[in-house]
């Protein structure tokens, strides 16, 4: 029987299918901006500014009150190019596509997909809401329900909520819920697969070994407070920390006494202290002083009035500061509960080079994915050096549409 030789096009299309199928978290987020980059010749550093809708206050009474329309944007930057490099012999390329995929394509592209997921889950650093106690793996449904509550407080739509957890978190919660009342279909699936069932507790659940971990800063030995009343914006002056030491890590969560989160639609207090994510590592100065960079809804700092108000009131002078988690706890997992519009992933069509044996691209608007394969020939070894490349960018569009769950 005659040999069947694989064309690079067959390999390219199979590679794209394997890559997309092995994405976990990255497949659950907004991908609608990929086709904006779907032009030949996209390069590292190409930027797409994604507009957010304006926010308004409305007014009472018959008299017309005109409001300014203020649009904001989020830059989505193509800043990551990853590739898989392999080399095949002439004999390798005579394999059937199923054998070739099993032996070569799937292992390599699965690893590539894992790194994309890993990069996507690194967006937890932009998320300010967090539920749970660092160092304690959640074993109650209540923890995950509270994450859903926090999303509802931020006016997140109920449909299509996702939850990506670590293997350790999955093991604990499946064991904890195995005997409770649940739809028989869900409990049966959990027992058979050892994984949380989709459409449980208001979320579609996904297990991902790429869930990121966080270590809480070493702030023990101080009694931190706000230093000065009426502060607004992206940094808060504080005091009472341990002297001249690294006290907070980027990604730590803090809150201020009597300063509550508000619903973004009606600006009414949710009754929960507003949480803020620390955006850079913080070191206290002599005397325990520290200016802490913070971010909250839409990536903004503390705003007490207007259409972008995100807190009931500025913290008072000497208001106590609470850090989420005991000093130095970690590293522990930070799972994510989110609506797909919280994050976006865009892949671009890389330019096809000349002067090689073969260069092809597989792209799919439906899958919002693009993969370039390039093959050369090594006459000395009768080998075909081969590389598969993806170029992509990841951004947090609306941090208020996500909530971290700590383990």
Q: Note the pLDDT of residue 386.
A: 85
Residue ranges matching CATH 2.40.30 in the chain? 225-323
Residue 144 three-state SS: helix
> How confident is residue 191, by pLDDT bands cut at 50, 70 and 90?
very low
Q: Using a cut of 0.95, tell me whether the model's pTM lies above it.
A: no
Q: Note the pLDDT of residue 195.
A: 59
Whether residue 187 is predicted with pLDDT greater than 70 in this model: the reply is: no
Strand order in the sheet with 235-239: 225-226, 235-239, 290-295, 269-278, 253-262, 321-323
> How confident is residue 197, by pLDDT bands cut at 50, 70 and 90?
low
Residue 334 three-state SS: strand
Cα 92 from chain centroid?
38
CB 392 within 8 A of CB 80: yes
* C-alpha dist (Å) from residue 6 to 3, 18, 100: 10, 17, 9
The neighbouring-strand residues paired with 81 are 391
With 0-12 / 13-18 / 19 or more C-beta atoms within 10 angstroms meaning exposed / middle / buried, residue 79 is middle
Taking the CB of residue 185, how many other CB atoms lie within 10 A of it? 10
Task: Give the whole-number percent of the chain exceeding pLDDT 70.
Answer: 91
Beta strands in 240-289 (DSSP E): 246-248, 253-262, 269-278, 282-283
Whether residue 1 is predicted with pLDDT greater than 60 in this model: the reply is: no
What Rg, from alpha-carbon coordinates, does the chain have?
25
- Picking from 344, 335, 341, the residue whose alpha carbon sits closest to that of residue 401 is 341
**266-285 burial code (b ≥16 CB/10 A, e <16):** ebebbeebbbbbbbeebebe
CB 112 within 8 A of CB 82: yes
- Picking from 303, 393, 339, the residue whose alpha carbon sits closest to that of residue 70 is 303
Residue ranges matching CATH 3.30.2320 in the chain? 124-212+332-341
225-323 is a CATH 3.30.310 domain: no
Of 27-41, 147-161, 228-242, the poorest mean pLDDT is in 27-41
End-to-end Cα distance, the chain = 58
Cα 21 from chain centroid?
19
Helix (H) or strand (E) run with residue 145 in it: helix 141-153
Per-residue pLDDT tens over the stretch 298-344: 899 999 999 899 999 999 999 999 999 999 999 999 999 999 999 99
For the segment 111-127, the average pLDDT, to the nearest whole number, is 96
Whether residue 199 is predicted with pLDDT greater than 90 in this model: the reply is: no
Residue with tokens 């009414």: 268
Say how far apart CA 301 and CA 296 lie, in whole Å.
6
Fold of 124-212+332-341: hypothetical protein PF0899 fold (3.30.2320)
Per-residue pLDDT tens over the stretch 51-109: 877 777 778 888 988 888 777 889 999 999 999 998 888 777 777 767 777 777 788 88
DSSP alpha helix (H) spans, 62-105: 97-100
For the segment 283-297, the average pLDDT, to the nearest whole number, is 95
CB 114 within 8 A of CB 22: yes
- Picking from 121, 287, 140, the residue whose alpha carbon sits closest to that of residue 201 is 140
């Amino acid at each position: 029987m005659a040999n069947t030789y694989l064309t690079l096009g067959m390999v390219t299309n199979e590679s794209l299918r394997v890559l997309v199928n092995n994405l976990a978290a990255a497949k659950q987020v907004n991908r609608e901006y990929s086709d904006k980059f779907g032009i030949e010749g996209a390069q590292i550093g190409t930027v797409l500014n994604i507009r957010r809708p304006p926010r308004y206050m409305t007014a009472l009474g018959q008299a017309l009150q005109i409001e300014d329309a203020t649009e904001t944007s989020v830059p989505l930057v193509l800043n990551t190019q990853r590739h898989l490099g392999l080399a095949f012999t002439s004999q390798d390329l005579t394999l059937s596509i199923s054998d070739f995929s099993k032996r070569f394509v799937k292992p390599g592209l699965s690893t590539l997909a894992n790194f994309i997921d890993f990069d996507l889950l690194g967006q937890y650093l932009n998320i300010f809401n967090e539920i749970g106690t660092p160092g304690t793996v959640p074993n109650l449904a209540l923890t995950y329900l509270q994450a859903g509550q926090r999303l509802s407080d931020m006016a997140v739509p109920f449909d299509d909520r996702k939850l990506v957890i670590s293997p350790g978190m999955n093991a604990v919660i499946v064991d904890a819920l195995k005997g409770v009342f649940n739809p028989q279909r869900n409990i049966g699936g959990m027992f058979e697969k050892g994984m949380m069932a989709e459409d449980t507790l208001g979320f579609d659940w996904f297990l991902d070994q790429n869930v990121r971990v966080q270590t809480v800063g070493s702030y023990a030995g101080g009694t931190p407070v706000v230093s000065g009343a009426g502060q607004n914006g992206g940094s808060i002056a504080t005091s009472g920390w341990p002297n001249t030491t690294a006290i907070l890590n980027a990604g730590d969560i803090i809150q201020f006494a009597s300063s509550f989160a508000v619903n973004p639609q009606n600006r009414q207090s949710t009754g929960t202290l507003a949480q803020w994510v620390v955006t850079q590592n913080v070191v206290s100065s002599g005397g325990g002083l520290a200016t802490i960079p913070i971010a909250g809804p839409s990536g903004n700092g503390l705003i007490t009035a207007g259409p972008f108000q995100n807190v009931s009131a500025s913290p008072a002078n000497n208001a106590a500061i609470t850090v989420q988690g005991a000093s130095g706890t970690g590293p522990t997992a930070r799972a994510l509960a989110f609506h797909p519009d919280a994050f976006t992933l865009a892949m671009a069509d890389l330019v096809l080079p000349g002067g090689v044996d073969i260069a092809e691209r597989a792209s799919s608007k439906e899958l919002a994915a693009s993969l370039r394969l390039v093959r050369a020939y090594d006459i000395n070894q009768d080998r075909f050096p081969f590389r598969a490349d993806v170029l992509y960018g990841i951004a947090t569009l609306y941090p208020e549409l996500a909530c971290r769950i700590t383990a």
